[in-house]
A and B are shown apart, each in its own frame.
Chain A
Amino acid sequence: MKPETLTTQERIVFELRELYLGCGYRPYKVGKFEEYDLYMRNKKFLASEQVLTFSDTNGKLKALKPDVTLSIIKNAKDDGRSQKLCYTETVYRVPRNAYGFREILQTGLECIGRVDDYAAGEVLMLAARSLERICERYVLDVSDVGVLSGVLAEEPIGDADCARLLSLVGEKNLHGLSAACAEMGVSQLTSERLTKLVSACGPLQETLDRVELLDLPQTSREALAGLRRMSDMLTAYGIGNVNLDFSVVNDMDYYNGLVFRGFVEGIPAGILAGGRYDNLLLRMGKHGEAIGFAVYLDQLERLASAKPAYQTEALVLYDDQTDPLEIVRATEELCARGVSFRVQREEEPCPTCREIVRLTKEANI
């Protein structure tokens, strides 16, 4: 197949599927529709709470799925065995600060059942390699929500205040963070710990070296130890471009450990998001552990791809005097040479091409 046959999006879908299948992830297909109730119960897990709904023929309220993970978890067998699944699906949702619903193609994978260090490291490796396949200039930001939750657990603050502090961490908003800590009566020690964690951002291994020297609670240290094991695995895989960044914060109602987000140069928003979501499994009445990520493919058309020099390689021109069999012979010859062509009447506007095959009366004189 010629490279120009595929659009950037198609090429990446193909390459990512090959990558995931190569590591034993089984393709998984979910339906386009899902019961609305599933999303009602897990609104905060969704990237956008707005869902496209309709009444099914039996009167049940259905939705065009805005998310794939919830459907996979809902249907996952709860038999203690590990499942490694990958998918490419279309979801329907309102992107942040956009007007109206959009159809978004996303691909991703889920590892459900038992998630040990190897399984988590493999998912991180696949996230990094997914980004690498999309663009050589990429960054994968990783964090562990356990580091921040360990620090916040030392303070007698409610869920709303906790969410507000995490939101400020997500904005790297140091001035807002210290003001909010003062307002909430959070101790100076916790305020300083949060500031230091948000400020510590950079290459995973080196930044971990620095963060491990900080005075942190035991639960935070355990989460850091987990990040260190991930860092060692990524080094063994030969993967760079991974940063430690505690501003990657996901909803703690659903996520409970490793969280990560991926960026590629040329696209102004994150295109990969994932993490460990045992809490979601628990909320959905399932046992075990889970980790996964999604790659949002809708923005890939913004990546510059090399434009072909010609709209078609060969242009076959004919007129009323041309014998159709002559056109067939000419196009078959082009096919045999592997040349792409367009056949058209001579008087029509010509696209750009490398060669012209003229089968008109004028050419035969």
Chain B
Amino acid sequence: MKRMINIALPKGRLGEKAYALFARAGYDCPELLEENRKLTFENESAGVRYFWVKPSDVAIYVERGAADIGVAGKDILLEYAPDVYELLDLGIGKCRMCVAGPKDFSDSHTGILRVATKFPAIARRYYAAQSREIDVIRLNGSIELAPILGLSDVIVDIVETGKTLAENGLGVLEEIEPISARLIANKAHYKFKGEEIETLRKMLERAVNA
């Protein structure tokens, strides 16, 4: 009997792009894009059940087994380090995790560096590797505002085009890691639905490379 694969997709533009890849790979489910109040969407013949979740929650749904697989940004995976398999780079939602700040900023290493970010674990890890003491200022949005108003010296954030930074007199100072959407899988569920998940991964890989 074919076992259904439960797939957590991130709400928003990234999720829609990811779904387009799944559809091209033969795992379509047209009602997913319809306007309705349903929470889960199923294509029994393709053996998939989708649901939309907040992008930062995808990894939790997968790690805890509510979803077998999911699509999560590498930024989320680096920040939360969930215990999951990372099976494929989907090549969408490409951006960079960067240190940004005033274009003329130069770290004098004379005091504690104040870093505003939505990604405290990534920031801590990055600066710990350089033995640099930092003061992490955890923000939930409008990170670019922090160095402009003097709340922080620099920010650690994802940068797509750099346009917002440039318009505010800021620029990329260092690149930490390239980011894109990844296909992740629950480790335990992979043991019992491995065949189905591997077939899906291969089909997706073909769709990504097409």
Contact = CB atoms under 8 A, between A and B. Distances in A.
Q: Which of A96, A171, A243 has most B Cβ within 10 Å?
A: A171
Contact of A270 (B84, B87, B187, B194): B187
Contacts of B82: 97
A96 B188 CA distance: 15
A137 B65 CA distance: 16
Interface string A84-120: 0000000000001100000000000000000000000
B88 A263 contact: no
A175 interface: yes
Interface of A is mostly: loop
Contacts of B89: 175-176
Contacts of A247: 85
B191 interface: yes
Interface in B57-77: 60, 63-65
B28 interface: no
A171 B85 contact: yes
B196 interface: no
Given A176-B86, A269-B65, A97 B188 contact: no
Given A97-B80, A141-B191, A268 B65 contact: yes
Interface in A141-185: 141, 171-173, 175-176
Nearest to A171: B86
A61 interface: no
B189 A268 contact: yes
A359 interface: no
A173 B86 contact: yes
Interface in A188-216: 201
A96 B83 contact: yes
B186 interface: yes
A45 B126 CA distance: 24
Given A171-B84, A269-B83, A270-B187, A137 B63 contact: no
B192 A269 contact: no
Contacts of B83: 96-97, 269
Interface string B83-99: 11111110000000000
A263 B188 contact: yes
Contacts of B65: 267-269
Interface in A256-270: 263, 265, 267-270
B87 to A, nearest CB: 6
Contact of A139 (B81, B85, B192): B192
Contact of B85 (A172, A243, A267, A268): A172
Given A268-B64, A268-B65, A268-B186, A263 B191 contact: yes
Nearest to B185: A172
B64 A137 contact: no
Contacts of A175: 88-89
Nearest to B63: A97
Contact of B191 (A139, A173, A176): A139
Contacts of A268: 63-65, 186, 188-189
Contacts of A270: 187-188
Interface string B164-201: 00000000000000000000001111011010000000
B47 to A, nearest CB: 17
A269 B187 contact: yes
Contact of B188 (A172, A201, A269): A269
Contacts of B87: 172-173
A270 B84 CA distance: 11
A175 B183 CA distance: 11
Contacts of B194: 201
Q: Which of A172, A176, A268 has most B Cβ within 10 Å?
A: A268
A171 B63 CA distance: 12
A144 B82 CA distance: 24
A34 B173 CA distance: 47
A172 B192 contact: no
B192 A265 contact: yes
A263 B187 CA distance: 9
Interface string A23-62: 0000000000000000000000000000000000000000
Contacts of A269: 65, 83, 187-188
Nearest to A302: B65
A283 B75 CA distance: 37
Interface in A117-143: 137, 139, 141
A267 B188 contact: yes
A269 B60 CA distance: 12
Interface of A: 96-97, 137, 139, 141, 171-173, 175-176, 201, 243, 247, 263, 265, 267-270
15 contacts: A96-B83, A97-B63, A137-B192, A171-B86, A172-B85, A173-B86, A176-B86, A243-B191, A247-B85, A263-B191, A263-B192, A265-B192, A267-B65, A268-B64, A269-B65
Rank and list the top 4 A-B pairs by shortest CB-CB distance, nearest first: A268-B65, A139-B191, A173-B86, A175-B89
